[in-house]
């Protein structure tokens, strides 16, 4: 499997978890892509991590803005 294929699997899994289609240019951490490529984690596990990381980033931004 190539890195781009692993990234596509993660984006597809994340899209399914979120309920809407993410763009192919969605930023995914390289360690997650490599983990899926090497078979160390599943695309679904990587998608869950990506979604949780994004949620935490958004929460921090809102808290910083006082919202």
Q: Is the pLDDT of residue 19 over 90?
A: yes
pTM here is: 0.86
Q: What is the mean pLDDT of residues 20-40?
A: 96
Contact by Cβ (8 Å): 32, 10: yes
Q: Average pLDDT over the chain, rounded to whole? A: 95
Q: Which of 30, 38, 27 is nearest to 1 (CA)?
A: 38
What confidence tier does 66 reach under pLDDT thresholds 50, 70, 90?
confident
Concatenating the DSSP letter of every residue in 12-55 gives HHHHHHHTSPPPTT----HHHHHHHHHTSS-HHHHHHHHHHHHH
**pLDDT at 67 exceeding the cut of 80:** no
Residue 20 CA, chain-centre distance (Å), reads 13
């Amino acid at each position: 499997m190539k890195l781009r294929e692993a990234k596509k699997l993660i984006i597809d899994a994340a899209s399914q978890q979120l309920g809407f289609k993410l763009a192919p240019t969605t930023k995914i951490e390289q360690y997650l892509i490599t983990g899926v490529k090497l078979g160390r984690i599943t695309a679904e596990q990587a998608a869950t991590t990506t979604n949780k990381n994004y949620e935490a980033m958004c929460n921090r931004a809102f808290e910083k803005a006082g919202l």
